[in-house]
Amino acid sequence: MQSFRTELENPIVEQDIIDLENKIKAFRDGTIHDEKFRSLRLARGVYGQRQPGVQMVRIKLPFGKVTFKQLLRIADIADEYGSGNLHLTTRQDIQIHYVSLDRTPELWAKLEQDDITLREACGNTVRNVTASPNSGIDAEEPFDVSPYAQAVFAYFLRNPICQEMGRKIKISFSSSDRDTAFSYIHDLGFIPKINENGERGFKVLFAGGLGAQPFLANAVHEFLPEDQLIPFTESVLRVFDRYGERTNRNKARLKYLVQKLGLEEVLRLVAEERIANKVKTFKIDINTVPQPTLPLAQEYPAVEILNEAHYKHWLATNVIEQKQARFYGVYVKVQVGDIKTDKARAFVDAIRLYVADEIRITQNQGLLLKFVRKEALPSLYAALNKIGFTTAGFDSLADITTCPGTDTCNLGISNSMTLAEVLEEVIYTDFPEFIYEKNIKIKISGCMNSCGQHGLAEIGFHGSSVKAEGKVVPAVQVMLGGGTVGNGVGRVAERVIKVPSKRATSVLHFILNDFKANNLADENFHQYYDRKGKDHFYQLLKPLADLTNLKTEEFVDWGHVEEFVTAIGVGECAGVVIDLVATLLLEADEKFDWAKQNLDKGAYADAIYHTYSTFVSAAKSLLLDKGVNSSTQVGVIREFDNHYVETGEFNLSTNFSDLVLQINKNEPTAEFAQKYFEEAKQFLNQIKAKRSLVNA
């Protein structure tokens, strides 16, 4: 178990893994509260499953990039520690399920040997930074956004300003105005631009999000210079950490902070925070993510294509020309995002000779292969066809995105993965022409929380339930009209009607037949939906919502044999923040130690932020003695003044707000870091002395 301590070369990573191991031991011993432990393990990519006693481990792959060696390493890990399956996610991660908690440090250590991390894949942190999978080869891109996505990932990994926020932050980079990374539903979405002087920068989309209540992002910069990308993002995270909701997780995203304070005020706070940033400009090294080594040019033997028609469909729907002349990108459709480990190994063997050593996971749970020579396409097709990886219709109506739903997720209400498989079969069987339709997407989530991104689909479904005959019936909420418009503009799907899940196939038949019969020439689905209006679709589908004629099988969900019951657990995707006095004081001590460590090594900005966190945790612990539980950090600061300083119960040379908020009024210099640290030391000692008197 301890072998990783000598095998890992990075002492920071090694300490991370040892820390997880120690926290698990403390949890088993009962010395860490279970809710506090939950937030700790989530920030280390370990997520509770629907099934008791096992975990889902999420592997963080910036912008979905994975090499042959890494994919094989992940497959080996999934066999040794999990269920022998790799699940590709809509955020370009890979998940492994059914992992024992006690084995997660060892699992993590083995992944790190090939530079793969779990850190901050879950929890109240900056989640995986996503990007258009074809970035670097996109013929329409102003420049490759991959190095910028990598820079954001690296800068904020383990960064103290974003380790324990009220909720997660999601960041995306689209390669072009087509916005294939969906900037409009992200906390921060970036679209590359080149200005009139030939300088690089980004259009910035701000405070979007899906979930149960979708918000479209605001365009806050038409052109943010590239060297301001990191400073602006840092300022946003600092503001979100201080002002964001921490008690009601349903209101704890950046979009709700904008709703509460107003966009103008939030941006004012962001600008005010700039002085405290670690950096005022940040030059991105565009060579951080070099293009992969090209496959060797060779003579490719003639191959027999057994089904020429299928090959032509595959070429038309799954193969694109790269911006690099004479090279092609090849997309691989992966049904419901699941790849068995034996298939993963066969896949690497099949492609190794024909593609560059860089695979990208796509937002619709598929794969992209790069730098395929034209003359290699028949050989690659034949190799992929042998292992069942040449399904045509990538990113079309027939390529359905889905979350795991009730298969493994605590929050799942009804099955989504089997439903996706059934609906794809309907399209391939009854509407085969739609494998060429790439402007209509179907997306499914097992609940309203949008992990399957149903809210940004032209046709979306999310798991639900209805009651009939004294029983609960599995159902889907049908949502229509969402999707990407382009250049940061998107549409949120509208809720139209709820029907029993087993009738989702009929929903699809009704909609597609109506679209075929009634859409005008060159009219896309958005135009068709807007012209017909929401009520048209409600009336069209209303017969399917009739619960007076239910059949026995409609009380059973897709993929199940038993009658349906709702069994929703406690979701963990947002993490948990607890308010136990003793725990908060321990946190204050821990953060104070981190401040001292960073001060000693000259990391002044990090030392200052840990010092700030010390102030907040210590003050919050004392407020709990009075039953005061503020939901934001800035609220804690204000309430401490109200209940302790202004009443004379706690003596400070100034008010607490002025003391703590020196953080955003000073440059992160050595002098200020030392002064601020000493003030926190004195404050923490006062808190402990007062607590001792209270408990005496």
- 506-532, pLDDT tens digit by residue? 999 999 999 999 999 889 999 999 999
* Dihedral angle of Cα 26, 28, 33, 34, to the nearest 10 degrees: 130
Q: What gap in Å lies between CA 253 and CA 215, rounded to an integer?
A: 11
Query: Taking 60 as the threshold, does the pLDDT of residue 696 lie above it?
Result: no
How many Cα atoms within 13 Å fall on the side-chain side of residue 390? 25
What's at 538, amino acid-wise? Answer: Y
Average pLDDT over residues 397-407: 87
Specify whether the CB–CB gap between 598 and 614 falls below 8 A: no
Average pLDDT over residues 499-504: 96
Q: Please tell me the predicted confidence (pLDDT) of residue 469.
A: 87
The mean of the pLDDT values for the chain is 92
Q: Please tell me the predicted confidence (pLDDT) of residue 70.
A: 97
Query: Taking 80 as the threshold, does the pLDDT of residue 413 lie above it?
Result: no
Average pLDDT over residues 182-208: 98
Give all domains of the chain, ordered by start, each with its CATH number: 4-112 (3.90.480.20), 130-276 (3.30.413.10), 308-386 (3.30.70.2500), 404-555 (3.30.413.10), 581-695 (1.20.120.330)
Query: Taking 70 as the threshold, does the pLDDT of residue 372 lie above it?
Result: yes
Instruction: Report the run of H or E that residue 499 belongs to, with start and end.
Output: strand 494-500
Specify whether the CB–CB gap between 574 and 168 falls below 8 A: yes
Query: Taking 50 as the threshold, does the pLDDT of residue 598 lie above it?
Result: yes
What band does 303 get if pLDDT is binned at 50, 70 and 90?
very high
Average pLDDT over residues 600-618: 96
Q: What gap in Å lies between CA 621 and CA 630, rounded to an integer?
A: 11
Q: What gap in Å lies between CA 513 and CA 507, rounded to an integer?
A: 10
Q: From 546, 545, 564, select the one nearest 554 (Cα to Cα).
A: 564
Average pLDDT over residues 211-222: 94
Which tokens belong to 362? Answer: 């796509």
Q: What gap in Å lies between CA 661 and CA 165, rounded to an integer?
A: 17
Q: What gap in Å lies between CA 353 and CA 350, rounded to an integer?
A: 8
What are 111-163's pLDDT values in tens digits?
A: 999 999 999 888 899 999 999 999 999 999 999 999 999 999 999 999 999 99
Average pLDDT over residues 297-301: 88
Report the percent of the chain where pLDDT is more than 70.
95
Q: What gap in Å lies between CA 445 and CA 460, rounded to an integer?
A: 8
Q: What gap in Å lies between CA 175 and CA 154, rounded to an integer?
A: 19
Q: From 208, 199, 197, select the one nearest 236 (Cα to Cα).
A: 208
For tokens 């792959």, the residue is 61
Report the percent of the chain where pLDDT is more than 90.
75
Query: Taking 50 as the threshold, does the pLDDT of residue 2 lie above it?
Result: no
Specify whether the CB–CB gap between 160 and 594 falls below 8 A: yes
Q: What gap in Å lies between CA 145 and CA 171, rounded to an integer?
A: 13
Q: Among the listed ranges 28-37, 270-279, 330-339, 492-501, which one has the minimum average pLDDT value? A: 28-37
What are 650-667's pLDDT values in tens digits?
A: 999 899 999 999 999 999
Q: Give the chain's largest Cα–Cα span.
A: 88
What are 570-597's pLDDT values in tens digits?
A: 455 544 333 357 677 878 998 999 999 9
What are 423-481's pLDDT values in tens digits?
A: 999 999 999 999 999 999 999 998 888 888 999 999 999 999 899 988 989 999 999 99
What are 55-108's pLDDT values in tens digits?
A: 999 999 999 999 999 999 999 999 999 999 999 999 999 999 999 998 999 999
Instruction: Report the run of H or E that residue 59 belongs to, with start and end.
Output: strand 55-59
Query: Taking 80 as the threshold, does the pLDDT of residue 32 lie above it?
Result: no
What's at 597, amino acid-wise? Answer: Q
Query: Taking 80 as the threshold, does the pLDDT of residue 46 lie above it?
Result: yes
For tokens 């979306």, the residue is 460
Instruction: Report the run of H or E that residue 474 belongs to, with start and end.
Output: strand 471-480
Instruction: List strands edge to edge, sheet with 65-66.
Output: 65-66, 359-361, 367-373, 327-332, 319-321
Query: Taking 60 as the threshold, does the pLDDT of residue 218 lie above it?
Result: yes
Instruction: Go through 664-679 and write b for each residue having 16 or more CB atoms within 10 A of its CB, e for each that does not.
Output: beeebeeebbeebbeb
Residue 438, CA distances (Å) to 190, 329, 395, 523 in order: 23, 17, 6, 13
Number of residues that this document lists for the chain: 696
Q: Checking DSSP bridges between strand 94-99 and strand 55-59, what pairing results, if any?
A: antiparallel
Q: What gap in Å lies between CA 323 and CA 343, rounded to an integer?
A: 30
More confidently predicted of 30 and 476: 476
Which tokens belong to 221? Answer: 């910069």
* Dihedral angle of Cα 263, 266, 272, 276, to the nearest 10 degrees: -140
What band does 301 get if pLDDT is binned at 50, 70 and 90?
confident
Q: Please tell me the predicted confidence (pLDDT) of residue 574.
A: 43
Q: Among the listed ranges 188-192, 238-242, 277-281, 584-588, which one has the minimum average pLDDT value? A: 584-588
